[in-house]
Amino acid sequence: AEAADGLGPEVVLLVVGGPTHAFGMSRPATRESAKDRGATAVPGAGIREWIDGLASPRTAVAVATFDTRTVSPRLPGSAAKKALKRLVALGFEPAAKPETFGVHGYEGPLADGELERARAWGVTLAERAESRGAGG
């Protein structure tokens, strides 16, 4: 909720991400299940609840979403796709296709090459945001 309160007119890009749980965005029950399996849980709401409490942007704001999913077994579903759909319904403009980064097991670490891929994705998003902020 802190980030939602801080969305002002200077924000040109919002990046939202979280793990894929049970084919989509996490819920209290899926976060509790992950915690029971040894995952480190951050107290508070997940992105589902955060998005549900988010107001429509007053000005054009681009949004990009990402999720993490296990590389083996490769399970269906995407928190990023579902998050982007909800954010676009609120009036955000998609800046990129939803992105998935692979992790080993349910608790991580990131799979080989994924950190570098995430950095490259972030650079691309930043360049797009910079050109938007400059009137592009």
Residue extents of the structural domains in the chain: 13-134
Question: In this predicted structure, what is the pLDDT of residue 35?
Answer: 67
Residue where the block lists tokens 């939602």: 4
Q: Quote the mean pLDDT of the chain.
A: 83
Handedness of CA 92, 82, 47, 118 (dihedral sign): negative
Fold classification of 13-134 (topology level): Rossmann fold (3.40.50)
Which range (40-44, 53-57, 95-99, 115-119) has the least confidence?
40-44
Name which of 23, 13, 11 is nearest 48 in CA terms. Answer: 23
- Within a 13 Å sphere around the CA of 23, how many CA atoms are in the beta-carbon half? 1
Q: What is the rounded distance in angstroms from the CA atom of residue 51 to the CA atom of residue 53?
A: 5
**pLDDT, tens only, 61-96:** 999 999 989 888 888 889 999 999 999 999 999 999
- Compare 34 and 15 and report the one with higher pLDDT: 15
For the chain, what percent of residues have pLDDT higher than 90? 42
Biggest distance spanned by C-alpha atoms of the chain? 48
